Amino acid sequence: MKTLQIFLIGIIILFFCGTNGFAFRCGAGLVSSGDTKARVKIICGQPTAKEKVCEGQQTYPLADKNTKTKKSKKCGDKVEVWYYNCGDNDYIYALTFEDGILKKEDTEGHGKGKSECLGK
């Protein structure tokens, strides 16, 4: 019984001591949240595509001189998303940067054609 308790405590400790929640492998390199755009570009190369998007976009009413109400949109946080197409046998990865720092990684469906990811 004591051995089981020690084993379970060990598993719990390993769970909480894990490294970064996500990492994106580029060939032999690895990038993770907190890395700069420059570091990601050096390790992973040029992305397939880039776009700037607004997260947390808010809509609020405005009144003009004739008391007609218009809706106005305000961008919450501007982020830059870099896409890496890793080919037919992998995914398209979206790396999101806020203020030049990598914040998260998502997949955007299956990749198409030849891989444009280093080492894949």
DSSP string for residues in 81-99:
EEEEE--TTSEEEEEEEET
Residue 21: the pLDDT is 52
CB 52 within 8 A of CB 83: no
- Name the average pLDDT for the chain: 81
In this model, does residue 15 exceed pLDDT 60?
Answer: no
Q: Is 46 helix (H, G, I), strand (E, B) or coil?
A: coil
Each domain of the chain, given as residue ranges in start order, spans 2-110
In this model, does residue 12 exceed pLDDT 80?
Answer: no
Q: What is the pTM of this model?
A: 0.67
Residue of 94 and 119 predicted with greater confidence:
94
Question: How confident is residue 119, by pLDDT bands cut at 50, 70 and 90?
Answer: low
Residue of 19 and 67 predicted with greater confidence:
67
